[in-house]
Structure 1
Amino acid sequence: MRSHRLPACVTLGALALTGLAACGQQTAKTEKIAVTASDTACEVARTELPAGAHTFSVTNKGSKVTEFYVYAKDGSIKGEVENIGPGTTRDVHVELVAGEYESACKPGMKGDGIRGKLTVTGQATALTSDPKLAAAVAAYKAYVSGEADGLLAKTTEFAAAVKAGDVAKAKELYPVARTHWERIEPVAESFGDLDPAIDARENDVEAGQEWTGFHKIEKDLWTTGDVSGDARVADKLVADVTEIVRRAKTVDLSPVQLAAGSKELLDEVATGKITGEEDRYSHTDLWDFAANLEGAKAAIDALRDALAERDSGLLTALDAKFATVQAALDKHKAGTGWKPYTELSTADTKELSNVINGLAEPISKVAAVVAR
């Protein structure tokens, strides 16, 4: 709960120390909730929480890279932090209303993870009680809606080309359709049952599961050029995208999710696109890179007025860093798109990696500023 919106009966000192019932509402504790992850355990220091904004601080004491998630009862993801290396600690900010949730650590970033129960009780003043944050959520939801429409339209065209055996057209449409996906990937990924069906790479598919989605068709297009067996995969892709678009247009978002999503998109670039492993057959990784950057900036732009009020220095730093990344990326334009990733030199990829890391530092501070 933000100090400038405290009820008169709550003191700043009391809020800093504990969660209280005040004026009929509760305020969340301000200290971090420690999560100790290992290869075999996921220990959350507190599993009963007051409603409001919380920060989970996840330390990986195992030998495998891990992830941490907070799931709502319907299976949607309310907060996540990925790529937590052994011996490192990363934070995730989450705004939670009363209800039952699950925490999950995923050592090796596979499967359903090691799950535990989280119970949230009481009421708290929503972050969107701040008009600037409410406007930010509304603006970003409009952005998501527009990109969702584009995703469905271009995925439908892409699937039609695949079913018609028009390899050249399908190759042309593949990165265009994925651009819309990558811009709103954090929202799309929050529906955990659909994301793997749409965007899994071959090594992401667990034993006994069928590989479907964009990357399955990508492999066939660029390795053999034979998509004659992909009609069913194309139809399923359209059906899955149609459902995720429906959900994306009605999803409830917290301002914290906008901030966390912008950081997640940069993490996607730093861990996937910059290595060339995401689009490993088509080498259209720079299309995804650019889309992730655009999506991250859209979230920050939606939060602009709130950030200007709460931390104008951070907003100035973000604008400068975004401009630096865009300038480095623009060197690799090709027509209306981007060069194949394989045409970049080691110096090129090092420059892109450095500027992304430079942007990641200030963007990692946004969620805490929004949540306070």
Structure 2
Amino acid sequence: MSAEPDGIEPPHPPSSSRTHLVRRWQAAAAVVVVAAAVTATVLAAGSGGGSPRTDAKATAPADGLRHTAVEVSTGTCGRGWSRPQAGTQVFDLHNTSGTASEVDLTDPRTGRIFGEVEGLAPGTTRPMTVDLGSGSYAFKCLQDDTDAVTGPTVVVAGRQPQGPAAAPVNQHDLIPPTLAYQKWVGQRIGELAAGTGTLKADIDRGDLAAARRDWLPAHLVYERMGAAYDTFGDADAAINGTVARTPGAVDDPDFAGFHRIEYGLWHGESAASLRAPAAALDSAVRTLRDGWSEARMDPAAMGLRAHEIIENAEQFELTARTDYGSGTNLATARANVDGTRAILGQLRSLLVPRDAGLAKLDAALDRTQAALDAQQHGGTWTPVDRLTHAQRQQINADFGDLLEQLAPVAAIFEVRRTA
């Protein structure tokens, strides 16, 4: 494999298909408890078991914050919080029951969530860090195989503004935007079929110059549909599969789709050798198009996909791992930004009242798009390995900031149990 571009440290080896990527954000969400409040850095990191402290000993010299021990069980949910105060503080949640539990700190009137801890094992204690203002609060304990239990309401006096919070999202909330996105994808698959048909026709008549011209527009149509890749199933590998950047890997008979054709077009292969791959690509796209009306996307995954699209672009496009000769990774990354905008557009009505940092997210999208657009010159794109150090650093920084702004979206749209 060639050296990675300056400023990028690849987190994972390449995969044969993006459908099979290790989902770093999804995995992190299982072990790092992310607060529902999207503008706060409210993270509940796991800790070992131990006895909870009493409210009378609510100090923690190590972090300088007020600590309050709170019990978690069906019979004692929220017990221990008897001296409420405003400000940033830590609740040390101790599960006294015999089953694992999720714990939310909520506004009992509106259901808004200020903090969340998932997977609190029996006998263990974990912290929940929150920023509380004046208002009413209650812990909700959601233990496995039992109904949710809401503890006593605690009132924080005064007039201090409440900290970040977000209303939970349920499956029904996500069905309309999911259906709308599926319809949008169906329209794009129609465009994709037209593009692969043109590409096939170019190769069939032996016009490889036209094929090189028409390859990128068709490929970018596919790259804008990133939130649907998992729903595509095996079609993803047939349409956009990759192989390792090692000697002989491109000869793998399973290497198919856009990148297989890209390799041939930019490495001197004959039209005759590319006719079968072009026909297979076009057939896979048309099969996907004809069966799309029967596909069903998972509403619960919608928020996560917005983050994954950009994460994958950072991992695969900014490192040129998926460059098989055309040098168009930055064009692909730009299409991925369009793909993220497409999914966020469908979720926006739910996101606006829940994400106080939405303006920062929009600005991050604009900056990233502008940085990529600056590398397009008269219809051609700067290859990643020809970026200057400053250009690379700027694009890397913009993607890093965008990922940071997108991470809360995944937390907001995690479907939560409320009963």
Q: TM exceeds 0.5?
A: yes
CA distance in 1 between partners of 2:383 and 2:208 (Å): 18
Q: 1:82 to 1:186 in 2, by over 3 A?
A: farther
Counterpart position of 1:91:
29
- 1:219 aligned to which of 263, 268, 277: 263
Do the aligned residues in 2 keep the contact of 1:81 with 1:92 (CA within 8 Å)? no
For these two proteins, the number of residue pairs brought into alignment is 264
- Decide whether the 8 Å contact of 1:255 with 1:370 is kept in 2: no
Secondary structure at the residue paired with 1:365? helix
1:314 alignment counterpart: 357
Residue type of the alignment partner of 1:173 = D
Question: Which structure has the higher relative contact order (CA within 8 Å, separation 6+)?
Answer: 2
Structure 2 contact 23–308 (Cα < 8 Å) conserved: no
Matched residue, 2:317 = 273
**Does 1:261 pair with 2:320?**
no
d(CA) in 2 for partners of 1:174, 1:291: 14
Q: How far apart are residue 255 of structure 1 and its match?
A: 3.4
Structure 1: distance between partners of 2:374 and 2:12: 33
Larger radius of gyration: 2
Q: 1:229 to 1:209 in 2, by over 3 A?
A: closer
Q: Which amino acid aligns with 1:139?
A: A
State the 1:221 CA deviation. Answer: 0.8
TM-superposed deviation, 1:227: 2.5
Per-residue CA distance 1:126-166 (angstroms, 9 max, x = gap): 93423xx3432233222212211111110111111112111
**Contact 1:256 1:367 (C-alpha < 8 Å) held by counterparts:** no
1:138 pairs with 2:179? yes
From 232, 240, 245, give the equivalent of 1:191. 232
Q: Does 1:129 align with 2:69?
A: no
Query: 2-side partners of 1:370 and 1:266: how far apart?
Result: 17
Q: Secondary structure at the match of 1:223?
A: coil
Q: Distance in 1 between matches of 2:30 and 2:179?
A: 22
**Separation in 1, partners of 2:308, 2:293:** 20
8 Å Cα contact 1:276/1:341 also seen in 2 = yes
Question: What is the match of residue 177 of structure 1?
Answer: 218
The answer for the alignment partner of 1:82 in structure 2 is 22
Q: Which residue of 1 aligns with 2:104?
A: none
* Residue identity matched to 1:253: M
1:259-296 deviation per Cα after TM superposition (whole angstroms, max 9, x unaligned): 22211110121111101221231101122111111001
Secondary structure in 2 aligned to 1:139? helix
Within the alignment, does 1:162 sit opposite 2:203 as a pair?
yes
Aligned counterparts of 2:237 and 2:265: Cα–Cα separation in 1: 20
User: Counterparts of 1:306 and 1:126 in 2: how far apart (Å)?
Assistant: 8
Alignment correspondent of 2:105: none
CA contact (8 A) 1:66 1:83 kept: no
Deviation at 1:344, TM superposition (A): 2.0
Structure 2: any 5+ residue segments left out of the alignment? 1-10, 32-144, 146-167
AA in 1 matched with 2:303: A
Residues 258, 283 of structure 1: CA spacing in aligned structure 2 closer, same or farther, 3 A cutoff?
Answer: same
The residue type paired with residue 320 of structure 1 is: A
TM-score, scaled relative to structure 2: 0.57
Identity of matched residues, %: 26
Runs of at least 5 residues in structure 1 that lack an aligned partner in the other structure: 1-63, 68-76, 94-120
From 258, 282, 299, the counterpart of 2:343: 299
Gap change, CA 1:92 and 1:249, over 3 Å in 2: farther
Q: Give the Cα–Cα distance (whole angstroms) in 2 for the partners of residues 156 and 189 of structure 1.
A: 24
Query: Match of 2:404, as an amino acid?
Result: E
In structure 2, what is the Cα distance between the partners aligned to 1:92 and 1:194? 28
Bigger fraction of residues in helix? 1
